[in-house]
Amino acid sequence: MRRLVLFLFPLFLLCGCREGHLPRTGGLPKPKYSDSQLSEGLKSPESEKLDVVSALVDQTLEAVRAEKLPERLPNWIAYHAVLIFGPDSYQVWRNGNADENLSRVFSVMLRSETNAEGAFVLREGKPWPRHSGSYFSQEHHPDQFLNYFSMTGGTLDVEISIDGRQFTMRDLLDRSLLESKADQELDYTVLAYSHYLEPGISWTDKFGETVSFPELLKVLLAKDEPTCLGTHRLGALARTQSREALCRTPEMKKLLPELELQVRTAVYELKSAQRPDGCFAIPGETPCSNSADFADIYFTGHSLEWILFLGDRFAADDWFVDAIESLAIKVLSNYELIYRNLDAVGSPGSHYDFDGLSHAVSALSRWRKIIEEGNLPSDHTTVSISD
Ligand SMILES: [Zn+2]
Ligand SMILES: [Zn+2]
């Protein structure tokens, strides 16, 4: 309980302040729902239900992690596969406790050979993600690899090898800061920066312009990023919000009410779109192959993953636990086929099925860690945004 109170306290302070509201410019959504609508239906499940779902999630995690990984593990797949091993996977690997699957994944992620289309190339003498070669050897969005590495709990001092030369992930971040600009796609950049950047810093990009995190966040708040039905954009907002130290600067405080409103609105819309089976109705096309289950794993998995960047805020609510249960059941009955299709079919659809699986199992891992660490509220306290 204590941890929850600590988590909510700064939000009470920030969200009660009307002056801090961001002026609404074109593109920003107006509040569509009342405060009471956004707060309804928050209650915690019986503890037996949590026990049952936790056991199901444990069984699912164990099965998926033990399955032999696909034969083909191009960079894009490896940077997704690592999410399956959860938010502590870097520590497990660094401590020398990685099994064969996890060792193989980290080896593809961190050791790059140009001839073998490795994950990194050199750009002005610094590591840079591959943007050439075969499609699934490439990074598909700016800072996508850096972000997925951050989600393993990875630290910036980790070594990256490129054709035998040694660098660190810090070099990759430094290079990214030089390249960062407000008009690029920003989902993964904000996701990664919200995790790694020191609060309050600004830097100079390669054109000599000063850039700061709040500037990038402000742009992201005002635009749509449709990647994976907008879920990674929401993840960037949620992850930023959960990093309290980052949110304490005056520039950030101006953005927090809008940040909170967008997060709460998105959670409300998901809850409203929850089907009787626990998964969320899919608001658009997914790039998955033609399977309703794979599409559910993709969208419900991505959605739960971004909400869990908020920590335990919704993790023990009835609707959330129902969604976790439904997701675990679908993952358990489909993961083998998704793995094998990647070898046997290898089509873009099968790659995106694996993308969906990785984010879904990432969500299950994150949820399990939160539940295991306890301190869950017996009842939910909500944060007011209008008083
Ligand atoms: Zn995605
Ligand atoms: Zn992805």
Point out the ligand nearest to the CA of residue 229: 1
Q: What is the pLDDT of residue 18?
A: 29
Distance 309 CA to ligand 1 centre (A): 15
Instruction: Note whether residue 318 is domain-resident.
Output: yes
CA of 228 to the centre of ligand 2 (A): 8
CA of 222 relative to ligand 2 center, distance in Å: 22
Report which bound ligand comes closest to the CA of 358. 2
Is 212 a domain residue? Answer: no
Query: For residue 237, what pLDDT is reported?
Result: 97
Ligand nearest to the CA of residue 286, numbered in listed order: 1
What spacing in Å lies between the alpha carbon of 355 and ligand 1's midpoint?
A: 6
Q: How confident is the model at residue 36 (pLDDT cuts 50, 70, 90)?
A: low
The alpha carbon of 232 and the centre of ligand 1 are apart by a number of angstroms equal to 6
Q: What is the tally of structural domains in the chain?
A: 1
Per-residue pLDDT, 290: 86
**Whole-prediction pTM:** 0.86
Residue 28: what pLDDT?
A: 47
pLDDT at 12: 33
Cα–Cα dist 298/227, whole Å: 12
Distance 80 CA to ligand 2 centre (A): 6
Query: In sequence order, what are the residues at sequence separation of 6 or more whose Cβ sits closer than 8 angstroms to the Cβ of residue 324?
Result: 53, 57, 278, 304, 363, 364, 367
Q: Which one of the ligands is nearest to 83 CA?
A: 2
Q: How far is the CA of 71 from the centre of ligand 1 (A)?
A: 22
DSSP string, 42-97: --PPPHHHHHHHHHHHHHHHHHHHHSPPPS---HHHHHHHGGGG-TTHHHHHHTT-
Whether 310 is in a domain gets the answer: yes
Nearest in space to 106 (alpha carbons), one of 91, 122, 125: 91
Compute the distance from residue 217 Cα to the ligand 1 centre, in Å: 19
310 Cα–ligand 1 center, Å: 18
Q: What is the mean pLDDT of residues 315-330?
A: 97
Residue 215 domain-assigned (yes or no) = no
CA of 231 from ligand 2 middle (Å) equals 10
CA of 29 to the centre of ligand 1 (A): 23
Looking at per-residue pLDDT, the higher value among 256 and 30 belongs to 256
Q: Rg of the Cα trace of the chain?
A: 20
Print the domain residue range for 322: 1-66+256-387
Pull the structure tokens for residue 186.
Answer: 């920003």
CA angle 347, 129, 287 (to 5 degrees): 30
The model's confidence at residue 34, banded by pLDDT at 50, 70 and 90, is confident
Q: 61: CA distance to ligand 2 center in Å?
A: 18
Least confident of 1-15, 186-200, 275-289, 303-317: 1-15
6 found inside a domain: yes
Task: Determine the pLDDT at residue 48.
Answer: 86
The answer to whether residue 294 is domain-embedded is yes
The answer to whether residue 103 scores a pLDDT higher than 60 is yes
Between the CA of 215 and the centroid of ligand 1 the distance, in Å, is 24
Query: How far from 314 is each of 32, 228, 289, 382, CA to CA, in Å?
Result: 21, 21, 30, 10
For residue 356, the CA-to-ligand 1 centroid distance in Å is: 7
Secondary structure of residue 239 in the 3-state scheme: helix
Is the confidence at residue 13, as pLDDT, over 70?
Answer: no
CA of 154 from ligand 1 middle (Å) equals: 20
Amino acid at 113: E
What's the pLDDT score for residue 42? 53
Torsion over CA: 261, 263, 156, 207 (sign): negative
d(CA 73, CA 294): 20
Please list all protein residues whose beta carbon sits less than 5 angstroms from ligand 2, which is an ion: 355
pLDDT, average across residues 114-131: 90
Instruction: Give the Å distance between the CA of 14 and the centre of ligand 2.
Output: 32
- 279 and 327 in contact (C-beta within 8 Å)? yes
- Counting ligands in written order, the one closest to the CA of 140 is 2
Pairing verdict, β 159-162 and 126-129 = unpaired
Cα 254 to ligand 2 centre (Å): 30
Q: How confident is the model at residue 26 (pLDDT cuts 50, 70, 90)?
A: very low
Answer whether residue 345 is part of any domain: yes
Taking only the tens place, the pLDDT of each residue in 42-79 is: 556 667 899 999 999 999 999 999 999 998 899 999 99
Ligand (nearest to CA of 226)? 1
3-state secondary structure 240-300: HHHCHHHHHCHHHHHHHHHHHHHHHHHHHHHHHCECCCCCECCCCCCCCCCCHHHHHHHHH
Q: Compute the 3-state secondary structure of the chain and give helix, strand, coil in percent, each to the nearest 5.
A: 60, 5, 35
What angle is formed at CA 133 by the lines to CA 127 and CA 134, rounded to 5 degrees? 125
303 C-alpha to ligand 1 centroid (Å): 10
* Ligand 2 centroid, distance to 355 Cα (angstroms): 5
In-domain check, residue 206 = no
- Ligand 2 geometric centre to CA of 282 (Å): 17
Distance 330 CA to ligand 1 centre (A): 18
**CA 386 to ligand 1 center in whole angstroms:** 32
User: pLDDT tens across 200-251, in order?
Assistant: 999 999 899 999 999 999 999 999 888 999 999 999 999 999 999 999 999 9
